[in-house]
Structure 1
């Protein structure tokens, strides 16, 4: 968002980067593997004022600078850091194989990493046990980022879940790969043939979105989402915790969350945790829904066990209980920045500095889960 210039405005305060929380594999980049209870400043690997984005996976972290450089640290047993080896890394280290190739976005899955370059090419590294690297005939792991050759269109958005990944192209098409959603789909949709994109180990076009143009994709541990240029939000995959705002236990194809769920407003932005979602509408209202047992919805529910998804007829709309219905949080009205971790959220209200920095914390490395989300 542009602002009128103000010649008398004070110079912005110097930026600083801090990390804290679980650190079993050095994912905080502090040089050791001890958990950290209080924020500690990182200052050794780059100028924090140049940090464009921070993201994290199961136990690894990635930083992209304004110049497009990629720095990584943490667990590396499957080569998810893309450094050419499988040793854990305790400090943020530049990914030298990508020097000279400016990075636009990084999405960290559980044990793999998806990388989007500024020219729209997608690369991947780490575990490929479930086809999550999008390289169907590749090895079970890649220790250096490899181009996903089957994504021939320019990509504008990427996402990584537990064992699957997504990409949205400049033309608005959504691709998905990795078999992470297939097992729950087979279990919860007995007798149904799952669409190819749920079982493919190479990028496969997501069906059901042909009449919309995606601008952003998201991935939870066992579900996917896509936001369109018309402000519509589509979701699919597991609905175990009500994160799809549906009555069905599993949605094999994308289903739009109806506008009335957002008070008939268009969705302007959406963020994703492992099993919950947060959306902001065009007027600044913030809605949350999905899993609630760690308080990640920011509201009190009558019971955490007040709803069980049904296995029959995934196309059904429903009279939904509270946790599976998007509900607005009035205290977050007009938030300038929102972020989801695996089971927590952060929001900034009324801070002009966020507009200036445009920093995005997809899953803050300081607060990554140290165990499997289930």
Structure 2
């Protein structure tokens, strides 16, 4: 190493539900505190992690893919239906440079740097996009997009979204189950599932930069940092069959979807939430300035989202704290602060909050990553699965 250069050490931690090996530690036990995970190859730098129902996908900075956890539907892409208790490379993808990955409940998606899309795992709702309802044990290219350039895939419980990049304008396609409106297509078709990609016509203006899917929810963030949501309604509100713009003067930089809630990170480091009345995900929430009093019961909604929408609430307990990233599990939440702290709250039954117990928490709590310290040269990321959590900590050494 030459003088002036810095060596980077990267640590991977996991905690929470581990019954199917999703923590990557070679065990099938829950972990109530963060534990180190050892990757099979040294000096791997992780650029992205995606956590599903009980499996995990890691993407390295060199475009390689590792998977582990539940594999009973082929979602690990390893060519079998076995669980993997430790990270294993997806050999089928080694001839491609992968740029984006996504883990759904029991399926997975992989996007190459050249814009090709591969999916594997459970296909019983058409969520793999291959035109049938078959499952696949190894990644299979989605032929619908062969002559197109895919930028991202977002996998939910039984559906998938694809962001297509095109010089004439970007667009979003959806496939899989549409029962709760999560595909964002015509209202008279939502009770069916679709094994071939369907375009969401609302987004033909090409201003979407990021897509999200989790549970039966879908969302998209526009270039001007506005949020669209569709699918299952939050906090008992009606399902939305078409993408609806969240009315807000706030500019959102990140979104994280859970099964019953969504976290929203603003440009200035504030965190808001939609939904979140399960397992204490909110405690004495502060009403956002945009929120209006909602009726106790909302009938099937035929009005616009501006008139009938779930509460938009500020997460309590973060006064004076600037947040730089967020993540959401099934019913727990996590964030990283500007000064390098991880905080979690919500459902804690499996230890997914990383606080040493199985208690639910109603306000964000600080998680300790062993004896490692944070400093100006530390980068921290956090990711949530249904009932488990991962963190990647990168430390630059002089």
* Deviation sequence 1:15-55 (CA, Å, 0-9, x none): 21122221111111111212223322122423476111222
Between stretches 149-158 and 215-224, larger displacement belongs to 149-158
Aligned mate of 1:67, from 33, 54, 62:
62
Aligned mates of 2:254, 2:320 — CA distance in 1: 14
| 357 and 107 in structure 1: CA distance in 2 versus 1, 3 angstrom threshold | farther
CA RMSD of aligned residues (A): 3.2
Aligned mate of 2:172, from 161, 171, 174:
174
1:130 aligns with 2:125: yes
2:116 aligns with: 121
The structural deviation recorded for 1:201 is 1.4
1:164 aligns with: 159
Aligned mates of 1:76, 1:213 — CA distance in 2: 36
| 363 and 356 in structure 1: CA distance in 2 versus 1, 3 angstrom threshold | farther
Per the alignment, in what secondary structure is the counterpart of residue 296 of structure 1? coil
Aligned mates of 1:234, 1:129 — CA distance in 2: 27
| 271 and 119 in structure 1: CA distance in 2 versus 1, 3 angstrom threshold | same
Aligned mate of 1:141, from 113, 135, 141:
135
- Whether the aligned pair in 2 keeps the contact of 1:157 and 1:215 (CA below 8 Å) is no
The structural deviation recorded for 1:118 is 1.7
- Whether the aligned pair in 2 keeps the contact of 1:33 and 1:90 (CA below 8 Å) is yes
| 47 and 22 in structure 1: CA distance in 2 versus 1, 3 angstrom threshold | same
1:54 aligns with 2:49: yes
Per the alignment, in what secondary structure is the counterpart of residue 241 of structure 2? strand
Q: Which has the higher strand share?
A: 2
Between stretches 78-87 and 30-39, larger displacement belongs to 30-39
1:237 aligns with: 231
1:339 aligns with: 327
Q: Which has the higher helix share?
A: 1
Any unmatched runs of 5+ in structure 1?
1-6, 243-247, 369-374
- Whether the aligned pair in 2 keeps the contact of 1:135 and 1:202 (CA below 8 Å) is yes
Per the alignment, in what secondary structure is the counterpart of residue 274 of structure 1? coil
* Deviation sequence 1:62-81 (CA, Å, 0-9, x none): 11111111111111111110
Aligned mates of 2:378, 2:78 — CA distance in 1: 28
* Deviation sequence 1:58-102 (CA, Å, 0-9, x none): 111111111111111111111110111111111110001111212
| 344 and 332 in structure 1: CA distance in 2 versus 1, 3 angstrom threshold | farther
Aligned mates of 2:193, 2:8 — CA distance in 1: 49
Between stretches 79-88 and 16-25, larger displacement belongs to 16-25
Q: Between Structure 1 and Structure 2, how many residues are aligned?
A: 340
The structural deviation recorded for 1:14 is 2.9
TM-score with structure 2 length normalisation?
A: 0.76
Aligned mates of 2:209, 2:311 — CA distance in 1: 24
Aligned mate of 2:258, from 273, 293, 314:
273
| 219 and 192 in structure 1: CA distance in 2 versus 1, 3 angstrom threshold | closer
The structural deviation recorded for 1:146 is 0.6
1:256 aligns with 2:248: no
- Whether the aligned pair in 1 keeps the contact of 2:234 and 2:261 (CA below 8 Å) is no
Aligned mates of 2:375, 2:100 — CA distance in 1: 18
1:45 aligns with: 40
The structural deviation recorded for 1:223 is 1.6
Between stretches 266-275 and 65-74, larger displacement belongs to 266-275
1:286 aligns with: 271
| 308 and 62 in structure 1: CA distance in 2 versus 1, 3 angstrom threshold | farther
| 119 and 192 in structure 1: CA distance in 2 versus 1, 3 angstrom threshold | closer
The structural deviation recorded for 1:296 is 2.8
